[in-house]
Amino acid sequence: MQFKKNTLTMAVASALIAASTTAGAVSTADLERKLMQLEAEMAALRQELKATQAAEPAQTQQVQQLETRVDAVEAPVQNLEQRVSDMETKGSPYFTRHPATRTGNMIFFRGGYTGLMDDRAFGAVTDVYGLGNDNDGDSGWNVGAGFDFLLTPDVWGLMPGTWALAELGVEFSHIDSAETILPVPTAECALATGNVGPALGNCLITGTNNLTMLTVSAAPKIKFMEGSKLRPWLIPIGLDFRVISPTSDTTSYLDVGGQVAAGAEYELIPGIKLGADARYHFAADFTNPDYSDATVAAIRGLGLQVQEPSNDYWTIGGYLGIGF
């Protein structure tokens, strides 16, 4: 601003000096015309000066607003940079307790021995109440697979070094089965040929009546000794959904129940584990026909046998786990 004021002053002074030195050579009209030109130039310079002075506060305010916005952006950026720096220096709080090579999530493939608490002999569908060979196997084999999903590496802060996981599994069991009378083909033959009563023996069709089960389960799993290659675990209680085949005497095949289990696994190499477990599965026995005493007496009066087995069973076996 001061520079522009000095410029105006110098311009006026120069004009006056020029006018005084040339007064004798030019007319008064010329001097007046030059003076008017100088005044017009001075007025234009004053106007420009006022415009510049008026614009300065708005520009200053815009600069302040920009500085405020920059500060607002810089604060979270600096905070994030500090957190990243801390994580690079100290490591993630999660992975400090829970190494990246052991995330806890795992897919497993299991197999082993299955034992029934009650065999399924002397049923209408399994062996026609013992009319043929008894289908009384009570043991067999099983195969299955499932997933472990890590919920918390310290049981929600209650047990450091102990994991809580969710296990989802499916298991197929085959029980030792006998060649016996097959009720459905026998009944179809009798109806088609009229061989009923004493003539029913002409339609006794036999074959292997396979006893099988499918169990789908969901359970919490507690795994101990984090950081050790050998880690024991237990399932305090889990939920089972059961399908039995052949059906019960009521033609029901769906049941619900639970399981308890315990086991241990050993990590051969990071992410690859071998384990063993034992489980007990108990059922609500919704497939049980719950025969009346009169019905039981009538069946036995024909020289046949009948029982109402439980669907409880147990397993023992091993598994291969692959972490992910």
Are 258 and 285 a contacting pair, CB within 8 Å? no
Q: Which pLDDT band, with edges at 50, 70 and 90, does 195 fall under?
A: low
Classify burial at 44, counting beta carbons within 10 Å of its beta carbon; exposed 0-12, middle 13-18, buried 19 or more. exposed
For the record, the structure tokens of 23 come out as 């007064």
pLDDT of residue 112: 98
pLDDT of residue 5: 47
* Pair type for strands 106-116 and 254-269: unpaired
Number of H helices, E strands in the chain: 5, 10
- Distance of alpha carbon 176 from alpha carbon 208, whole angstroms: 10
For the record, the structure tokens of 107 come out as 């897919």
Are 245 and 212 a contacting pair, CB within 8 Å? yes
pLDDT of residue 317: 98
Of the candidates 149, 109, 141, 146, the one whose C-alpha atom is nearest the C-alpha of residue 240 is 146
Residue 91, pLDDT > 60, answer no
Q: Which pLDDT band, with edges at 50, 70 and 90, does 203 fall under?
A: confident
Residue 3, pLDDT > 50, answer no
Mean model confidence pLDDT for the chain: 84
How many residues in the chain?
Answer: 324
- Distance of alpha carbon 247 from alpha carbon 124, whole angstroms: 9
- Distance of alpha carbon 105 from alpha carbon 286, whole angstroms: 34
Q: Which of 8-12, 187-191, 273-277 has the highest mean pLDDT?
A: 273-277
pLDDT of residue 89: 61
φ/ψ (deg, to 5) at 306: -150, 145
DSSP 279-296: EEEEE--TT-----HHHH
Hey, how many other C-beta atoms are within 10 angstroms of the C-beta on 163? Answer: 23
Which residue did the predictor score with more confidence, 129 or 166?
166
- Return the H-helix or E-strand segment holding 79: helix 28-90
- Give the mean model confidence (pLDDT) for residues 219-240: 97
Compute the radius of gyration of the chain from its Cα atoms: 47
Which residue did the predictor score with more confidence, 70 or 125?
125
Q: Which of 60-74, 92-106, 160-174 has the highest mean pLDDT?
A: 160-174
pLDDT of residue 18: 54
- Distance of alpha carbon 209 from alpha carbon 193, whole angstroms: 23
pLDDT of residue 240: 98
pLDDT tens sequence across 278-303? 999 999 999 998 899 999 999 899 88
Looking at the chain, the whole-number percentage of residues with pLDDT higher than 90 is 53
pLDDT of residue 71: 73
Residue 275, pLDDT > 60, answer yes
Of the candidates 132, 120, 176, 162, the one whose C-alpha atom is nearest the C-alpha of residue 311 is 120
- Distance of alpha carbon 321 from alpha carbon 57, whole angstroms: 72
pLDDT of residue 245: 95
Residue 19's SS3 state is helix
Which residue did the predictor score with more confidence, 115 or 78?
115
Q: Which pLDDT band, with edges at 50, 70 and 90, does 94 fall under?
A: very low
